[in-house]
Amino acid sequence: MSKGPSRIAEFIKKALFLDFVKGLSITLKYNVSRSITLKYPDEEKWVPDRRFRGQHTLNKDENGRELCVACELCVKVCPTKCITVIPMEDDTGRGIADRVAKVWKVELARCMFCGYCEDACPTRAVRLGRDYELACLDLSCTTREKDELLKPQSIPDTIQGGFVVRSSFERTPEGIRVVPDLRMQKKRNI
Amino acid sequence: MPDLATLLEILIIVVKVSVISGILFSLPLPLTWIERKVAGHIQVRLGPWRVGPHGVLQPFADMVKLLIKEDIVPERADKFLFKLAPLLSMIPAFLVFVAIPFGEKFAIPFVGKEITLYLSDMNVGILYILAIGGLGIYGMILGGWASNSKYSLLGGLRSSAQMISYEVSMSFAAIGVVMLTNSLNLLEMVRSQSGSFLDWNIFYLPVGPVWFVIFIIAALAEINRIPFDLPEDEGTLAAGFHTEYSGMRFSFFMLAEYVAMVTVSVLTVIMFFGGWNPPLDISIFHLVPPIFWFLGKVILFIYFFMWLRFTLPRYRYDQLMTIGWKVLIPLSLVNILVTGLMII
Amino acid sequence: MEKLFFLMFAAVAIASGLAVVTARNPVHSALALIVCLIQVAALFVLLRSPFLAAVQIFIYVGAVMVLFLFVVLILDMRKAVLQAFPPVKKRFVVGVILVLMAQILAFVFVTPMGLSPAGGWEPTVESIGRMLFTKYLFPFEVVSVILLAALVAAIVIAKERR
Ligand code: SF4
Ligand code: SF4
């Protein structure tokens, strides 16, 4: 049991609805503050940091030669067994060695983006990139082939990432895309 | 054969009735949108955004959805009452507006004819509103019973008990205001509060604020808004009395609920906040048409109710009863005494 | 015009009154009773007594019937429907009804009709209040004491149960 004066204070607090006022003022503050919702995909898009693990990408060296030597280490290390690599002999200078990948494909539907393949790769050929809009209409598009993976990513490596940019939402017959406008950066504290 | 003047009077009444009911029928459209926006921003979200600019077309989309949804009547339900219940809750909500004044007179430009901004100037206005407004409860009770579902029945029972408990203190608050203004007539009530904001009933110290608090709490319970929305408590009763309703019939309940919220805001403004009187008796404020003062205050209160809804948690049922019987009713009895003494 | 309205309200009131006793389902009976009470309120309006009409709706329809329904809803509906109504001998019921009828008829014939002057005397709230506290002060006080006694009794009964 509380003592006299504090009980009186309690009563006054209740009679004046002080707790209510406190709660209401907090919600009012939030009501007028900026909302943290990203207007994705209509107007804004989050550009991830470099460490982000999105869709795979295969790199080339500065002379445009494929870095992958088809050693199949990534295949071995992958916990979900979703990478397929078939090596072949090629001394035309397509790759950095005589051995290149004839087939290099990853099934994104099974991949869990753990990044082990990236760590296992001796030549730093495979990297997990920053493309994260992987939704599509049927299972066929969940497999990414080598030609597609060799194309540069939509966000170049020179961009630090970790901010929000303006973007536009495009509906094309092939599907929907969110095209970021990398010049318009906005800092968001999330 | 009635003469032309009578016909004109009848025509004016018909027009007024259709305007008011048109407005009331379309009220849920903006109100649901505002409510969801307020909810969103209080929770640091955006609220509706995709359908139309800032999501303003969202309520229309919802309306279309409700209209074309399948209308399910449970097999073991009491079909007649099940179909009647939504109307029973909607009609009283609309009937209340017969007695609610929105202003004094208004002269139509160029014609020189004055029309009144109310349908009927009843000399028992406040009693009528409380009486008719209380009838909406039958929709909930009967709808809950007719659905033949345990959740609905419990919702109906809760709402009837809640309603009986809080109607008493709400009427006491109305009596208090009647004592302060010496009239049951809503127009008189507003007239007696003209002048600056210090003449409003809420500033009739010391009893005004107490009546206001009693009225607001009782009214919140009466219209089933959070923190007293136990009849439709999602946590324990699915959706309470309207669990079994879908489509159009459900939207009638929603409509009744929103109209009731507007009614309570209007009543609060009329009873405590000086109706359409501007807050200060200076000439600049009198330039603004009184209806705008009125609407502004009403909108503030509607916002206040939404703000409360997204701030407070729901009360437990025993707490609800304790507040009603052990706090509000004794408080209003004491307050009646004090008010009486002050008037003498 | 007024007569037409009177006939309409009266007819609905009687019909719903009959429905109260004939309906098998207690909830339907209660609903019919609500309709009946609302019609009576409308008759009060025709008698130029809006205050009484509002009070009728407020108290009978708004509060008493809600309590009625509250109790009825808790009943086991299937049993209640099957139960014979009324649960006492028919002869007794007829007797009670006849006595009540005689009372009402006596009341109708004994009280002088057309008391209110034809020239639109409206019983306002003020005049009703004045009447209550002057001419009818004694009955008013008696009624309040009886109500108080009932209140206390209800509390005592509720306490004993515990
Ligand atoms: S990220 Fe993990 S799961 Fe995905 S391909 Fe690489 S190793 Fe396999
Ligand atoms: S991507 Fe790297 S690990 Fe995988 S096969 Fe090519 S070189 Fe080996």
Dihedral (CA of B284, B203, B265, C55) sign? negative
> Is the pLDDT reported for residue C44 higher than 60?
yes
Q: C142 pLDDT band (50/70/90 cuts)?
A: very high
Distances (CA, A) of A113 to A54, A79, A81, A148, C147: 7, 10, 12, 18, 77
pTM of the model: 0.80
pLDDT at A116: 92
pLDDT at C52: 82
Mutate to test the interface with C, among B164, B166, B185, B326 (most CBs of C within 10 A): B164
Cβ of B124 and C51 within 8 Å? yes
Q: What is the mean pLDDT of chain C?
A: 80
- Which range in A111-115, B79-83, B270-274, C51-55 is most confidently predicted, on average pLDDT? A111-115
CA distance B148 to B145: 6
- Atom index in ligand 2 nearest the CA of residue A117 equals 3
Task: Tell me which residue of B308, B258, B301 sits closest to B63, measured CA to CA.
Answer: B258
> Is the pLDDT reported for residue C84 higher than 80?
no
Distances (CA, A) of B239 to B57, B92, B242, B253, B342: 26, 22, 6, 12, 46
The pLDDT of B173-182, averaged and rounded, is: 85
Distances (CA, A) of A182 to A43, A134, A151, A171, A186: 13, 20, 19, 20, 10
User: In the structure encoding, which two tokens stand for residue A157, read together?
Assistant: 């490596």
> Is the pLDDT reported for residue B72 higher than 60?
yes
How far is C-alpha C24 from the chain's CA centre?
Answer: 21
pLDDT of C57-75, one tens digit each?
A: 888 888 888 888 888 777 7
Among the listed ranges A96-110, B268-282, C34-48, which one has the minimum average pLDDT value? B268-282
The pLDDT of B238-265, averaged and rounded, is: 84
- Atom index in ligand 1 nearest the CA of residue A126 equals 6
Q: Name the residue of chain B whose CA is nearest to C54's CA.
A: B128
How far is C-alpha A29 from the chain's CA centre?
Answer: 32
pLDDT at C123: 60
> Is the pLDDT reported for residue C149 higher than 90?
yes
pLDDT at C118: 46
User: In the structure encoding, which two tokens stand for residue B116, read together?
Assistant: 């009144």
Closest CA of chain C from B309, distance in Å: 26
Distances (CA, A) of B47 to A31, A168, B88: 12, 20, 32
Cα distance between the two ends of chain B:
53
Fold of A51-152: Alpha-Beta Plaits (3.30.70)
pLDDT of B183-234, one tens digit each?
A: 888 888 888 887 777 777 777 778 888 888 889 888 888 888 878 887 777 7
Burial of residue C33, with CB atoms counted within 10 A of its CB: 0-12 exposed, 13-18 middle, 19 or more buried: buried
Ligand that lies nearest to the alpha carbon of residue A71, given by its number in the listed order: 2
Dihedral (CA of C149, C154, C155, C157) sign? positive
Cβ of B156 and C73 within 8 Å? yes
CA atoms within 13 A on the CB side of A60: 15
Of C145 and B5, more confident: C145
pLDDT of B6-38, one tens digit each?
A: 888 888 888 888 888 888 888 888 888 888 888
Cβ of C54 and B161 within 8 Å? no
The two counts, helices (H) then strands (E), for chain C are 8, 0
Evaluate whether chains B and C are touching (3 or more beta carbon pairs less than 8 Å apart): yes
Count of CB contacts below 8 A, B vs C? 72
Query: One digit per residue, pLDDT tens: chain A, 190 residues?
Result: 456 678 888 888 877 788 888 888 888 888 888 888 888 887 788 888 888 898 888 888 888 888 888 888 999 999 999 999 999 988 888 888 888 888 998 988 889 999 899 999 998 889 888 888 887 777 877 888 888 888 888 888 788 877 888 888 888 777 777 877 777 666 665 5
User: In the structure encoding, which two tokens stand for residue C87, read together?
Assistant: 């649960």
Q: What is the mean pLDDT of chain B?
A: 83
The pLDDT of B131-158, averaged and rounded, is: 84
pLDDT at B236: 76
> Which of B17-31 are b and which e, b meaning 16 or more Cβ less than 10 Å from the residue's Cβ?
eeebeeebeebbbeb
pLDDT of B290-303, one tens digit each?
A: 788 888 888 988 99
pLDDT at C45: 83
pLDDT at B230: 77
- DSSP letter for each residue of A133-161: ----SSGGGGEE-HHHHHSPPSS-TT---
Q: What percent of chain C has pLDDT over 70?
A: 83
Could you tell me the distance, in angstroms and rounded to a whole number, from the CA of residue A69 to the centre of ligand 1? Answer: 18
pLDDT at A86: 92
Is any atom of ligand 2 closer than 6 Å to the C-beta of A149? no
> Is the pLDDT reported for residue B143 higher than 80?
yes
pLDDT at B111: 67
Task: Tell me which residue of B204, B191, B206, B203 sits closest to B275, measured CA to CA.
Answer: B191
pLDDT at C68: 83
pLDDT at B277: 78
CA distance A159 to C37: 78
Task: Give the domain ranges of chain A.
Answer: 51-152
